[in-house]
Amino acid sequence: MGTHTVLMPDVGEGIAEAEILEWPVQVGDKVREDDVLSIVMTDKAAVEVPSSVQGEVLWLAGEAGDTVAIGAPLIKLRVEGEGNASDVPPNSEPAISETPVGAAVSMPPASVTGARQQTSSPTSVAESQTVTESALAAPSTEKPLASPAVRKRALDTGVDLRQLQGTGPAGRIVHEDLDGYLAPAMNTGGGRTANTAVTTVKVIGMRRKIAQQMALAKARIPHITIIEEVDMTSLQELRCQLNEQHAAKRDKLSLLPFMMRAMVEAVREQPAMNAHYDDEAELIRQHGAVHIGIATQTPSGLAVPVVRHAESLNPWQAAAELSRLAGAARDGKAKREELQGSTITLSSLGALGAIATTPIINHPEVAIVAVNKIAIRPQWDGQQFQPRKMMNISCAFDHRVIDGWDAAVFVQRLKSLLETPALLFVES
Amino acid sequence: MTDIHCELLVIGAGPGGYVCAIRAAQLGVDTVVVEAESPGGSCLNVGCIPSKALIHAADEFHKLMHLNDSPLGIRSAAPTLDFTQTLAWKDGIVARLNSGVAGLLRAARARLLSGSARFVDGKTIRLSNAAGEQLIHAKKIVIATGAKPTELPSLPFGGDVISSTEALALSAVPSRLVVVGGGYIGLELGTAFAKLGSKLTVVESGDEILPLYDQALTQPVKERLLELGAEILTSTTAEAATPGALVVRSAGGETREIPADKILVAVGRTPRTEAVGLSELSLTMNGPCIDIDDHCQSSMRGVYAIGDVTGGPMLAHRAMAQGQMVAEIVAGMNRQWDKRCIPAVCFTDPEIVDCGLSPGAAELEGVDVVTGVFPLAANGRAMTTGTEAGFVRVLARADNHLVLGMQAVGAGVSELSAAFAIALEMGARLEDIAGTVHAHPTQSEALQEACLQALGQGLHL
């Protein structure tokens, strides 16, 4: 039996460390080749670390939320054969390593098949084994501190007491801790009582990235927000017609492909809106390509998959790309490059869209367009009120590089494009 | 005979087996328990219960013998001992408990079958008894076959070389008794016979008697044995039995003959596995014991093992707790072994009780502890019963004062085991025990005082 060490893989260029997002395995679990050992986080992409060997988990580098340096040991497995010995302490005595060389030669050299790390030499493998083994004895398996009644109740209710933080003396887990843990599940709905429970949630992984990104954007960028109402009646009619006409052959179009089209048209006239502002270098990079970030809700939080080259897509292509990306983001399968590089962002809450929002710019972009919900509202046509399908758009701009005037022009341009949808398809 | 089918089959009706069967039957599991001897196992028939009866009788006799030396001012004529009557009284208690266990099993509707069991496969056993042979098919099987006294190759049992079982059924008090093995079984019985009038010699191969306990705990026992006229030979091995004597060899290599009417070999207990044909199941073993996980499951699915057959500590209350747990698992409950401590008691004179971490173990594990010791000589109740030897000791984590271990040595301290075990299982801190009002005048005050000592707040020392 040997120990096989899997190191934190280099998942993205120029990153010194990555965050452990999830451990699908626990110490003592048996894993097979290709089983996912760990999910780690870099920027916005969650990366699965598969096992290259079969074995038993001996040691994990930390808990979810901890960061581990690239190349540092991430997980250790007990494997048949000699394992790899990537974490051999360099201080192994050269005197000893001389002797077993002869024996080592006769060993099957293939026993490190698939190992990520290069095995230094078979001799140091044998030595490292004992070192690692003794080091592994360290993780304490101290039982959670709780009275027998609490332990029994935990077993009965299927609660792993190791998940709880005791509030009793010496950190003892008391009935109240268990109550608090179970509370959401068994709300008995009796009399109203004060709930003093405090649930502590570690901000890790995607949530941590979102928090950092939002704080950065809000702290650095002086936002100017403009809200304008748009009469969507014509566009909605066009959309319905198109959907009816192609009902059999093509996917249904939502509003978003039209919004994307409108943004492409609007930035054609105002390229300053489709830019990155590098405030440290004091440079604005205006992009020819319109890579539209689509703010998407996923089970683990906000993700912004990017529809690349929106200027080159027709509405159906845009719709297809949109649904593929949104699905990938929701399933956590979006690739790294699909989650970065947007030049302007579109945010839609759909039916939840409210009347107005104050969207936060996706740093280092300079503009974001949010659509609010469509509702039939009375509009004065000069003689009488007409029921029109009205929608607000809430747009925010980086006021450091975009003046209010230009922002207002951009919003008006979007409004007229959407209200006269034919303009969307006129090649200029 | 027709085959028997059941959900749960328990092999052995000792403390582990009968508790498991009762609990399972209570939970509606169709349960059969098989036992070759009287129900109750070693504990009830040839262990805890009869030995405690004998120890009590010996204590009473010895007290009367020495009444005239006592400072209490009571004077009496010399007592006489009718040992046959003593044994009959002891046997009466055992018989009462035998029928008690059988009655409990019956009341719970578990079927108790008499006979010896042998595995056919992991779901079937063959039961043999006077009526013939019968197959029992079970969905789950619990092995609770216990352990038996370990035999020394140089001193096979037979004639005057006896095990604890025979020692509890001697027709007369031997005038010279040699006990081979200075563990708790040998010392408990040896002390009893010494009090009944035997000239006692203890032969222990290690450097200390009661090697499982630290010297502070064993010192009062050693002193008392010497006071009773016993000779303790440590670092000495038993070589052979000759008619009327035991040949021993000291660490220095000198041999010596110790005159002996009976030689009690009490060097430990061996799991009983071969009689049930366990080798055919090829379960994973842990030395001579069946290897189990924290659900008492063996390496074969549906085959559980509890009690002495699974190794140490070989104590009845451990087996009972395991039996109860396995019954609940079989009944579909989510259970696992999560006990913090299994209290251990030596019914020597004075008694020793040990719960949780010992000072040696704490040092070994590198736990930073504070220790509090309170001698019974400073306890009012101990003075009034004339039993001042011994102390109560408590160990707690230095950082948060969580109690990790409690030990005591002294007359009657076995009853403190409840307080110790509850404190440990509940996760008490020193402050919890120190802040609990302990009744005065009782020995248990020493527990509170030991905690106060550990906190540096001792009142009565």
| pLDDT(B400) > 60 | yes
Burial B299-331 (b: 16+ CB within 10 A, else e): ebeebbbbbbbbbeebbbbbbbbbbbbbbbbbb
Cα separation of A77 and A58, whole Å? 5
Each residue of A80-96: pLDDT tens digit?
A: 777 775 444 444 333 33
Cα separation of A348 and A297, whole Å? 10
The reported pLDDT for the residue numbered A74 is: 86
| pLDDT(B386) > 60 | yes
Across the interface, do A156 and B400 touch by the CB < 8 Å criterion? no
- Residues A197-201: what's their mean pLDDT? 83
Provide φ and ψ at B124, rounded to 5°: -140, 140
- CA distances A162 to A75, A352, B396, B431, B436, Å, are 21, 39, 22, 25, 29
The burial of B229, by beta-carbon neighbours within 10 Å (0-12 exposed, 13-18 middle, 19 or more buried), is given as: exposed
Each residue of A67-83: pLDDT tens digit?
A: 888 878 888 888 877 77
Residue B150: count other Cβ atoms within 10 Å of its Cβ. Answer: 14
State chain A's mean pLDDT as an integer. Answer: 81
**Among all residues of chain A, which has the CA nearest to that of B336?**
A155
The burial of B452, by beta-carbon neighbours within 10 Å (0-12 exposed, 13-18 middle, 19 or more buried), is given as: buried
CB contacts of A151 in chain B (<8 Å) are 338
- Residues A223-237: what's their mean pLDDT? 95
Confidence of residue A8 (pLDDT cuts 50, 70, 90): confident
The reported pLDDT for the residue numbered A96 is: 38
Cα separation of B327 and B331, whole Å? 6
Contact A319, A334 (CB under 8 A): no
Distance in Å, alpha carbon of B325 to nearest chain A alpha carbon: 11
- Residues A291-299: what's their mean pLDDT? 90
Lowest mean pLDDT among A384-398, B116-130, B275-289: B275-289
Helix locations, A26-145, DSSP H:
94-98, 101-105, 122-136
| pLDDT(A65) > 90 | no
| pLDDT(A119) > 50 | no
Cα separation of A267 and A264, whole Å? 5
Give me B255's structure tokens: 């041999």
The reported pLDDT for the residue numbered A98 is: 37
Nearest to B427 among A147, A155, A156 (CB): A147
**Beta-strand pair A36-42/B199-203:** unpaired
The reported pLDDT for the residue numbered B239 is: 94
**Among all residues of chain B, which has the CA nearest to that of A152?**
B335
Across the interface, do A169 and B333 touch by the CB < 8 Å criterion? no
Across the interface, do A146 and B427 touch by the CB < 8 Å criterion? yes
| pLDDT(A200) > 90 | no
Instruction: Assess: ipTM above 0.90.
Output: no
Each residue of B98-135: pLDDT tens digit?
A: 999 999 999 999 999 999 999 999 999 999 999 999 99
Across the interface, do B427 and A156 touch by the CB < 8 Å criterion? no
Name the more confident of A419 and A141: A419
Confidence of residue A132 (pLDDT cuts 50, 70, 90): very low
Instruction: End-to-end CA distance of chain B: give it in Å, rounded.
Output: 71
Confidence of residue A16 (pLDDT cuts 50, 70, 90): confident
Lowest mean pLDDT among A60-64, A217-221, A352-356, B102-106: A60-64
Cα separation of A46 and A333, whole Å? 8
- The CA-CA-CA angle for residues B362, B363, B364, to 5°, reads 90
Give me B330's structure tokens: 């079989």
The reported pLDDT for the residue numbered A39 is: 83
Confidence of residue A131 (pLDDT cuts 50, 70, 90): very low
Provide φ and ψ at A34, rounded to 5°: 75, -5
- Residues A304-333: what's their mean pLDDT? 90
The reported pLDDT for the residue numbered A186 is: 54
pTM for this model (two decimals): 0.60
DSSP strands (E only) in A194-343 = 223-231, 275-278, 283-286, 292-298, 301-303, 306-307
The reported pLDDT for the residue numbered A188 is: 53
Q: How far is CA A195 from the centre of its chain?
A: 32
Say yes or no: B432 contacts chain A, CB-CB below 8 A.
yes
Each residue of B289-341: pLDDT tens digit?
A: 999 999 999 999 999 999 999 998 999 999 999 999 999 999 999 999 999 99
| pLDDT(A107) > 60 | no
Say yes or no: B169 contacts chain A, CB-CB below 8 A.
no
The reported pLDDT for the residue numbered A110 is: 37
Contact B205, B235 (CB under 8 A): yes
Nearest to B402 among A147, A155, A170 (CB): A170
The reported pLDDT for the residue numbered B63 is: 94
Contact A254, A348 (CB under 8 A): no
**Beta-strand pair A344-348/A292-298:** parallel
Say yes or no: B56 contacts chain A, CB-CB below 8 A.
no
Cα separation of A31 and A291, whole Å? 41
DSSP B10-38: EE--SHHHHHHHHHHHHTT--EEEEESSS
Confidence of residue A121 (pLDDT cuts 50, 70, 90): very low
Each residue of B227-251: pLDDT tens digit?
A: 999 999 999 999 999 999 999 999 9
Each residue of A137-162: pLDDT tens digit?
A: 333 447 888 988 899 889 888 888 88
| pLDDT(A362) > 60 | yes
State chain B's mean pLDDT as an integer. Answer: 95
Percent of chain A clearing pLDDT 70 (strictly above): 82
**Beta-strand pair B116-121/B111-114:** unpaired
| Torsion (CA) B365, B367, B372, B373 in degrees, nearest 10 | 10
Cα separation of A97 and B320, whole Å? 53
**Among all residues of chain A, which has the CA nearest to that of B396?**
A170
Distance in Å, alpha carbon of A174 to nearest chain B alpha carbon: 10
CB contacts of B324 in chain A (<8 Å) are none
DSSP B101-116: HHHHHHHHTPEEEESE
Across the interface, do B432 and A169 touch by the CB < 8 Å criterion? yes
Provide φ and ψ at B326, rounded to 5°: -65, -40
Burial A164-202 (b: 16+ CB within 10 A, else e): bebebbbebbbeebbebbeeeeeeeeeeeeeeeeeeeee
Contact B392, B376 (CB under 8 A): yes
Give me B304's structure tokens: 């559980």
Mutate to test the interface with B, among A141, A150, A152 (most CBs of B within 10 A): A152
The reported pLDDT for the residue numbered A38 is: 85
